[in-house]
Structure 1
Amino acid sequence: MASKIKKFFQKKKLDVKFKKAGEGHKLDSPGASTSTQAVPQGAAGNDKSQFRTAEQTEEKRKAAAAAMARLSSSQKTDTDDSMLYLRARVRKELEAEKQAEQEGATAASPREITLDSAPVLTTILFKCPDIGPAVLPKDEMDNYIEEFLLSELEAEPQMTSALMIQTLNKDKEKVRICNETLVKYLDNVIGNSTEDKFRKIRLGNKVFKERVSEMKGTNEFLQACGFQIRSLPFEDRHEDFYYLEDEYALDKERLVNIKEMLLEAHPIIPQLDRALKVFYPSSSASRFEIPEQFFNVTPEELKKEQQRKRDAAEKLGVLRTKAMRERDEQRELRKYRYTLLRIRMPDQVILQGTFRVQEKVSALFEFVRENIEMDWIPFQLTTSAGQKLNAESLTLAEAGLVPSALTNFSWDPAILAEVKAQKGMSSEKTALKPDIMMLIQNL
């Protein structure tokens, strides 16, 4: 049954691909040979429905080359030694940041945020590639998913209604109880298909009202099973019931399939959009403008918490136990929901993405690998304090990369030297893919 749900989403993905492809062309039409388009990563910006497109032709390579030319030309000075000057300045900044870390900051402490005048992130965006190409804020993405499910209800009523119950109800414990109750109803019919009392559900029943009827998607699911609302005798009056006619009640195989579908359904969960951005080398790389959505607490609450910590530290002095320090660290980690991370590449170009704080450090490595051209070469990410990041276990919060951080990218030197020797690769070659370099802008 799980394979049926998988095929359902595979079909939706295929539909999305066809919709993206646009109108077709005859083989002899002028646009037949070069009409292919792709949506590059990180295309979502302030316009929630905007998607960048890039021609997969010679024009794309020229545009990437032009971006690199702008990168080179924008760094020229009267002495033509600006790249050396820039690197020296960046090295000096790194040394200053490292010294500051050593003087008192710990790896788990949040980085102090200096607001930059140029906004680089205005809101958190989400996507759901299984159902469509939209990139939207959370509330609008939830509405987008609900509209998708409603649009599929007529074609796939049983599967879609099962997905609606899982997706549109946020209280997972109530969803679990609802599903258990619906399964019980179906089991009663499957085991007693000829007994009338097992084929009807009174809408006014207390258990039904508390566990089922208030949940989104349940009315659609019961109708997909074959239940219809009828007024039937009850005690000394008539009441409304969901009633299952013979043709549906006696088809046990169908009811078993529907029950399995309900048990296998899982919620459609939108993915956090990385909001990928690429910046020219900048001395402002370590300055961040962080939206309030990144925080689990308001700025006022954050200030009060910081004051409380200072007061407690003054009272306790050095007499804080290990358990007390660990509680403070955990409280610190729970302040943040998202983190804005930048990766400084070997040519000083900056790659930026948005992450959940509970994602593993491995997600950051995967993000970088997706956007570099030579993705088979091992690389290392290092914090501004010189600490090498381990992709194995820590979350981004546990690694101290919240609510923002700047890391430095470096290739494995031995393997890079071998590749350069074999391919004659230039040391000034950018690490990022050409289509990613097309997104470059000033910070």
Structure 2
Amino acid sequence: MTLWWARRDLRLADNPALLEAQADGPAAAVFAWTPALHFWSGRRRAHLARVLWSLDQDTDGALGVRRGPAPDVVLAAARETDSRIVHAAREFSPAGVREQEEVRAALEADGRELHLIGSPYAVAPGRVTKSDGTPYKVFTPFSHAWRDHGWHSPAPTADASSMRALTSDMSLDQQAAHGDAEDPLSETHEFRESQILEDLRAFIEGDLARYAAERDRPDLDSTSHLSVPLAFGQLHPRTILAATGAVRSDAARVFESEVAWREFHADVLHHHPSAQRESLTPVLPDDAWVTGRDANDAFRAWRLGETGFPLVDAGMRQLAATGTMHNRVRMVVASFLVKDLHVPWQRGADHFRRALLDYDHAQNQLNWQWVAGTGRDASPFFRIFNPETQAEKFDPDRRYRRRWIPELDTPGYPMPMVDHKAEREVSLAALKQRKSV
């Protein structure tokens, strides 16, 4: 008997670790509901509970979901099922690496083994390097090398009937209910694997054709809506790339480049773990950032969507209500926090970690660094989004802003909290000061 330790690969399709566990017969499956999950937002815990419930249903109740640190949970399950080998997908985030090494040590001390196979990426971080073996710092050459490297075809779907039942010690229904009550959303996102795969098919056959032309328009519905299942491991990027690879169009290649950005950021964090909190390239002097009450007041207005800049406010309200935000708007709200309100990117990244349902650690931290001008191949700091011209260009009929700001064009909507032109000059002056040092 072998054991599958379910991690960020909560699916039956294209799951090499689960297939390896089933290679010699029925396998058991366990998911560790660790103490770290209680630092997640209620919305993320509620959705995770639904995802786990769905996977348990797909395996006829075979998935064991158990509370406790991963080393304790996995070792206990291995002993219970008499599994000498535990199979799991390899993680590359600092926390994921630390966790899997702790599990490995616990298993090896008990005469058992941890076999890591597969990852949440089409090409695992660290695989794509320059000819001298060093990592890429610029996205475009990375993306070319990433394509040249290539990836495996999707693995077959695992046999759901070839699972040995493992009991759970917690109620997923209760976790979902508690998360909903603590941190409610205005809508429930899809959590069934079969429907997610159908949604992928529908996107490839439909909205993909408009993706290149319309992907920056938050007022239109032309994006894939696949970021949440990607974040929870219900869909592997290799599955997406197999679907887009069958389409000969510029739109398909543009969509694939977004997958490449996700993999680039994972690669950067793999080589520079400190990037989860530290700027890779500091751009401003330390005294350029607001502090104290001024910082807290500015951050609160931004968080609540009460800045007086409609595109910023619409984005932050969409995030609060749904747990997601259109990517173009994410860039605008991030630029506004860092370059108009002069709040460090880490504080914005922390809020996104709590509020986003599609939170992905590497993608979130490095996207914030991209906007702040501090990351690898980042947008230059002097590129400061004007929230008003961005709104005119990408929400020309104001549909997106009206949807999320019902009091728009009424006395109840606040005046702009800052003068964008003036704050832009403040940021540029700070940048010049840093360069002169």
What TM-score, normalized to structure 2? Answer: 0.18
What TM-score, normalized to structure 1? Answer: 0.18
Instruction: Point out the structure with the larger strand share.
Output: 1
